[in-house]
Chain A
Amino acid sequence: MAIPANNTAPLFGEGASGTLRLVVYLVIAIALMIADRRGDWLEHLRAAASIVVEPVWRLAAAPSELARDARLALADRRALSEQNAELSRQLLLAQTRLRRVEVVQEQNQRLQELLSVQKTLGLSVQLARVIDIDFGPYRRHTILLDLGSDNGIKVGQPVIDARGLVGQIVEVRPRSCTVLLISDKSHAVPVRIERTGLRTIARGNGTLDTLELPNIPTSADVKVGDKLVTSGLGGRFPADFPVGVIRSVGNDATGMFAAAKATPDAALDRSAEVLVLHELANPVGPPAPAEEVGPPVSLKGSDEPAAQDAVGGEQKAGSGAPSVMSAEGTKQKRGEAQP
């Protein structure tokens, strides 16, 4: 498109040659665009060119970076300190939220474990939160749940957690209930050793991590590591629910029986949520003894009905065994503490 410098060109362009040149260039440009879109060989060219091009980018970006630096350098001190305060406040908030999320995550984990237990059991259960615990050395091992008679809770319902048996309900108030743990001195649970099928009784001894199994025949086959499950006898606890694991086996004081110690499966000192079983397994064994035996309820002054049918069917397990476990009150506890 060489137009003569002396400006003698006609007013309306110069005709066909200029147009032809334009068309040629346009075709080249369009071909390039298509090649760039479709093919990949131009990518290499572009990559090579970017080495040359990058300084230009830097140069172009320099003014705005300079402006930003200047703005930062000249920023008001008050604005900065305000920003600082704001940011630290936000940090505090964020950290608090993070903590809460962590707690919720843990809770979620626990609830999911409980949920899986509920599914495998096929029993109707009710989730309860532990609202208070009471583990003094001379105190009864009880925990307080946030369910009560308003929620349909009755005395005697078994309480479990994700790993094993926790205890049974001994007191019910409208909005809360008390659970006697299996580790309480006055509590005993009829168990079966899973490996051999041997039936016996696991009693609490007042420490959270130990169950005692007194009065096992010396000839019985009991080994460390044997698993204890509920036998279902007595009708109080459903059968085949894990209770504990045998930790040690030895002779009792008289030398006539073997005595074993077991570790409870349930996290008695850790559970924050537990399950209250609703449908009891079919009662096995003799019917519960009549309530009228003993002094009238009014004289006992205790508001908790007996749970003594829990091991009713287990009496035959050992001759001369001490009295059946009872949750009737502190009065009887001393007598039962020592077999």
Chain B
Amino acid sequence: MRVRGLNWLFWGGIAASFVFQLAPLPAVLLPFKPYWLALVLIYWMIELPERVPLGLCFALGLVADLLGGEVLGEQALRLCILCFIVLRFRSRLRFFPVWQQTLAVLALLLNDRVVYLMVHAISGDPPPGLDFWFAPVAGMLAWPWLFLLLDDLRARLRAGDA
């Protein structure tokens, strides 16, 4: 029962992040759209790393590329790098207080942006504007709330199980 509920939460969270990623926003808010998929994956990697192997990150990245209509493999690349870093430093991240975690998430998202920029620079796209860098900040601000929400849901599952 518990595993089933957790499965629901896990896949539901990822599906919801896909939908949020695609949801159209007013043009003003568009640069502030956080990288939801990355945030959700970071949470699960910190809490239940055995559920999120590198291969899953890769596969989800491919799905995200298909959904977003971007170059196939781009998000897969970004998520793999993100995943690798998180898994490597997982043991520390896990015991950070929330504010430090938040800063770490900002660093992760900024790094992800740099990777993104590199991929596009290599393929010859023009450099983006300043608003390109708003999204990591928005992601950082969203992180504590996402963390609390998912933690709370998981705790409820556990409590319902008990």
Contact = CB atoms under 8 A, between A and B. Distances in A.
B53 A2 contact: yes
Contacts of A19: 84
A4 B138 CA distance: 33
A100 interface: no
A42 B69 CA distance: 12
B76 A11 contact: no
B24 A25 contact: no
B80 A26 contact: yes
B158 interface: no
Interface stretch (A57-65, A90-98, A120-128, A205-213): A57-65
A87 interface: no
A89 B25 CA distance: 32
Interface in B92-113: 92
Given A18-B84, A28-B73, A33-B72, A11 B92 contact: yes
Contacts of B73: 28-33, 36
A45 B62 CA distance: 12
A21 B23 contact: no
Given A12-B88, A36-B73, A1 B66 contact: no
B67 to A, nearest CB: 5
Interface string A1-41: 11111010111110000110110011011111101110000
B72 A1 contact: no
Contact of A3 (B87, B89, B119): B87
A5 B66 contact: no
B22 interface: yes
A32 B84 contact: no
A49 interface: yes
B154 interface: no
B54 A56 contact: no
A297 interface: no
Contacts of B76: 25, 28-29, 32
Nearest to A31: B73
Nearest to A5: B50
Nearest to B119: A33
B23 A46 contact: no
Nearest to B26: A64
Contacts of A12: 88
Q: Chain B: interface secondary structure?
A: helix
B19 A32 contact: no
A32 B72 contact: yes
Contacts of B23: 60-61, 63-64
B18 interface: yes
Given A29-B76, A61-B24, A64-B24, A53 B91 contact: no
B12 to A, nearest CB: 13
Contacts of A10: 91
B58 interface: yes
A13 B88 CA distance: 4
Interface in B64-85: 66-67, 69, 71-74, 76-77, 80-81, 83-84
B55 interface: yes
B26 to A, nearest CB: 9
Nearest to A64: B24
A46 B76 CA distance: 15
B88 A18 contact: yes
B75 to A, nearest CB: 9
Contacts of B71: 33, 36-37
A61 B21 CA distance: 11
B77 A1 contact: no
A36 B22 CA distance: 21
A57 B22 contact: yes
Given A22-B80, A28-B73, A29-B80, A53 B67 contact: yes
Interface of B: 18-25, 49-50, 53-55, 58, 61-62, 66-67, 69, 71-74, 76-77, 80-81, 83-84, 87-92, 119, 123
16 contacts: A1-B87, A4-B50, A7-B91, A10-B91, A11-B91, A13-B88, A25-B76, A26-B77, A29-B76, A29-B77, A31-B73, A32-B73, A33-B71, A33-B119, A56-B22, A60-B22
